[in-house]
Amino acid sequence: MDLMPEDVPNRRIEMLISDFGGVLTSPLVQSFAAVQDDADIPPESLGLALAALTESEGKNPLFELECGRMAESEFMAMMSRQLSEDLEREVEFRDLGERFFEALHPNEGMIDLIREVRRNGIRAALLTNNVREWEPLWRSMLPVDELFETVVDSAFVGCRKPDPRIYELTLERVELPPEACLFVDDMEVNCEAARELGIRSVHFRETAQARAEVHQLLELDAAAGETT
C-alpha cells in the first residue's frame, strides 16, 4: 500500500528521487522481450537462465552486473553458455546494451513531471540500478544534468535497490533526512525498502497514476497531472 499524506510526517518534501528504467522510460519488460526476440530465444528463457546461474554460482549474475562487480562481456558469456545448455543449441547472447536500448524510449510525461517539480522549487535526484557500460546509452536518452542535481548509479557505488545502503547513500549525497524526500519507482519492492527508511514513495504503475500521486504529495496543481 502506498503511503498517503496523512500517513507520514508533515515535513515539506524538498527532493523528488526518481528511478530511471520503467519510470522515465517505456516499460522494461518491452525491452527484455525485444532482447529475447533478437536472440531468437523463447519467452521466460532469460529468467530461467538467470535462476540456473544464480543456483550454480551462488549469486545472481544480473545483480553482480548492476553492482559493477561483473563486466557486461562476462555476463553475456555466462548467459550464452547457460542458454545454449538450456535450449540444447548454440545461443550467442551479445550486444545486450545496444539491443536493450533500441527498444527503450523516453517517457515524456514523467520527464515533464521532473521539470515541473523543479520549476516549483523542489530538488530532483536520480537513483538507478544500472550497468556501468550502459551509462552513455541511458544518459543519451534524456538531459540528465538539466533534470537532476545528483545521480546515484548502482554500477558505480557497488550496491543496488532494494539494499538499504543505496538509499542511505542517496540521502547522504542530497544532504536531506528521509522524511524530506519522495521516491518514485516501478518496482514495489524498491518502494517498500524506501518506506522502511522513512522515505515517502510512489509505486509507478502508469504515467497518469504516478503524476497524480506525486502532485498530491507535493501539493502541486492537480490539473497539471492530466498529461499522460
3-state secondary structure of 93: coil
Q: What type of residue sits at position 24?
A: L
Query: How confident is the model over 48-69, as pLDDT tens digits?
Result: 999 999 999 999 999 999 999 9
- Looking at the structure, do residues 160 and 120 belong to the same domain, yes or no? yes
- Looking at the structure, do residues 123 and 165 belong to the same domain, yes or no? yes
User: Which grid coordinates belong to 135?
Assistant: 551509462
- Looking at the structure, do residues 144 and 204 belong to the same domain, yes or no? yes
Do 30 and 107 touch, CB atoms closer than 8 A?
A: no
Query: How confident is the model over 94-145, as pLDDT tens digits?
Result: 889 999 999 999 999 999 999 999 999 999 999 999 999 999 999 999 999 9
- Give the chain's domain count: 2
Range of the domain at 76: 29-102
Average pLDDT over residues 35-49: 90
Query: How confident is the model over 163-175, as pLDDT tens digits?
Result: 999 999 999 999 9
Q: Report the share of the chain in percent with pLDDT over 70.
A: 93
- Looking at the structure, do residues 20 and 109 belong to the same domain, yes or no? yes
Query: Binning pLDDT at 50, 70 and 90, where does residue 39 land?
Result: confident
pLDDT at 1 exceeding the cut of 80 = no
Distance, in Å, from the CA atom of 96 to the CA atom of 122, rounded to the nearest integer, reads 36
Distance, in Å, from the CA atom of 144 to the CA atom of 71, rounded to the nearest integer, reads 24
- Nearest Cα neighbor of 138 from 178, 98, 177, 198 is 98
Average pLDDT over residues 21-35: 94
Domain CATH for 216: 3.40.50.1000
Distance, in Å, from the CA atom of 38 to the CA atom of 33, rounded to the nearest integer, reads 9
Residue 93: its pLDDT value, please? 84
pLDDT at 179 exceeding the cut of 80 = yes
Other CB atoms within a 10 A radius of the CB of residue 108 amount to 13
- Looking at the structure, do residues 165 and 195 belong to the same domain, yes or no? yes
3-state secondary structure of 23: coil
